[in-house]
Amino acid sequence: MSAYLIVMGAIISREMQRFLNQRGRFFAALVRPLVWLLVFAAGFRAALGLSIIPPYQTYITYEVYIVPGLCGMIQLFNGMQSSLSLVYDQEMGSMRLLLTSPMPRWWLLLSKLAAGVAVSLLQVYVFLAIAAALGIDMPLAGYALALPALIVSGLMLGALGLLLSSYVKQLENFAGVMNFVIFPMFFLSSALYPLWKMAESSALLRDICAFNPFTHAVELIRFALYGQFNGLALAVVCGGFAVFFLLAVRGYDPARGLAKRRHSG
């Protein structure tokens, strides 16, 4: 087991160093949710007629409501960004070299996911610290209780990106795939508005949002930040991670996945 942990630690260390050396990526990861929090929140609140929202036996402001959704946004974008680097590694050949190591393929891919989650956790907690400095804070215990939820949701969203990277052949094609996945998942969720508000407009859209796994990732984070447990959200997120990860492992199988398609292309 020590060899497994050494490999995972090395991959996580490599990804963290790569991220910290890319300062533009770090600031871009923070600017995006902060713009939504400080600029768009007022517009959405006015448009939706929301000043306070009663989701979990308490009343909260709209700005506080969307903070968990923006944490999910950070993880969603980070999962896709990590997948983009995987596509680049595939084109450069370093990913193929990694997969030829004696370690099991599933462990190497899981280590890549763990590295992506570690990077996303750093981004999320810096964002939460900035939000708290702006007066938008959560219960103190919620910051610690949200950690397991953030890990699980980060694994699911990272596994989704890993799955996409296993079926995208060229780097330039991945940007379109990212936009096709990110924006529908984010806007058709409870990240920006509660499902009961969506139901007032369209029952169909509400059902689509409820079926969206990103909705359950956001709700898992939201409940955890308030010291509450959402069993349904946890089950959906864990199930989504298992499905996405198993399909990604299959996609990276040289016998029938990425290597076979590249050889035939």
Q: Report pLDDT digits (tens) over 106-130.
A: 888 888 899 889 999 999 999 999 9
What confidence score (pLDDT) does residue 71 get? 93
Instruction: Tally the domains of the chain.
Output: 1
Strand-pair partners of 52: 61
pLDDT of residue 212: 94
Kindly give, in sequence order, each residue whose CB lies less than 8 Å from that of residue 263, ignoring residues fewer than 6 positions away: none
pTM equals 0.84
User: If DSSP codes are grouped into helix, strand and coil, which group holds residue 189?
Assistant: coil
Does residue 19 contact residue 28 with C-beta atoms inside 8 Å? Answer: no
Provide the pLDDT confidence category of residue 219 given band limits of 50, 70 and 90. Answer: very high
Residue type at 122? L
125 backbone dihedrals φ, ψ, rounded to 5°: -75, -30
Domain of residue 212, residue span = 2-264
Rounded to whole angstroms, the Cα distance separating 219 from 194 reads 10
Cβ–Cβ under 8 Å, residues 68 and 89: no
Q: Is the four-CA dihedral 150, 123, 105, 170 of positive or negative sign? A: positive
pLDDT in tens, 59-92: 567 778 888 999 999 999 888 877 777 766 666 6
d(CA 102, CA 115): 20
Average pLDDT of the chain, as a whole number? 80
114 close to 154: Cβ distance less than 8 angstroms: no
Average pLDDT over residues 29-46: 74
